[in-house]
Structures are given as C-alpha cells and as structure tokens.
Amino acid sequence: MGETLKTLGQSSPAAATQVDLYTVPAATSTTCSTLVVCNQNGSKVKVRVRVRVAGAANDVKQFLLHDVDVLAHTSEFFTLGITLAATDVMSVQSDTTLTSFSLFGVELT
C-alpha cells in the first residue's frame, strides 16, 4: 500500500451552500487528520460539516459539526482522525461568504 500525505481539499463556498470538500477516489481509503475552518468575516459564522458514506443523499445522521460558531477573524482547528472509504464524501457549508475550509490527511492506495 502506498501512502500520500496531502491537502485533501480546500473550499470557500458561497453563503448557505453545501459543497463537496473531498471525495475519496476509487480503490483508496483516507485518514482525515485535521480540518481547518477560517472565518475571514468581521462577525461570527455558523458552519456545518458532514460525511456522506458512499456519496449518500443528505441525512441528519451524517453531521460532524452542525451550526458550530466560528468567531470573527478566527481559525478553528479540528483534529479528526477519522477514516473514509472509497467514494465517501466530506461536505461543508457556512451561513455566509468569506469562510474557508481546508482538509489535511493521508490517502492509502
């Protein structure tokens, strides 16, 4: 098995719009180590993060974070240590613009 340490995904989605931050490639498993959420706004934002197993449709059971506040001009670092299988999807959302998400981890092929 090969291991590749990398930035798995980065996104700054439009307000109130869920986007796929990372989809695990075929024949790959992934360990997600750290998620960084950076609020570049002058006021707090609310963020959501979910894992959709095998790209499933949205369901409340998928949330890792739901409407979590990130203070103005602040970055929050979430240590995850979660594993994802091929075709699993991590999706992110913020209630406003100027919020960025970065996911770091290891792909195993």
Tell me which residues of the chain have a pLDDT lower than 70. none
* pTM for the structure as a whole: 0.96
Q: Are 16 and 95 in contact (CB under 8 A)?
A: yes
List the chain domain ranges.
3-108
Residue whose C-alpha is closest to residue 22's, from 77, 41, 75, 34 = 34
Q: What is the pLDDT of residue 36?
A: 98
CB 95 within 8 A of CB 13: no
pLDDT attached to residue 1: 74
- In the CATH scheme, what architecture does the domain 3-108 have? Sandwich (2.60)
Name the DSSP letter for residue 58: P
Separation of alpha carbons 53 and 91, rounded Å: 11
Q: How far apart are CA 108 and CA 86, in angstroms?
A: 10
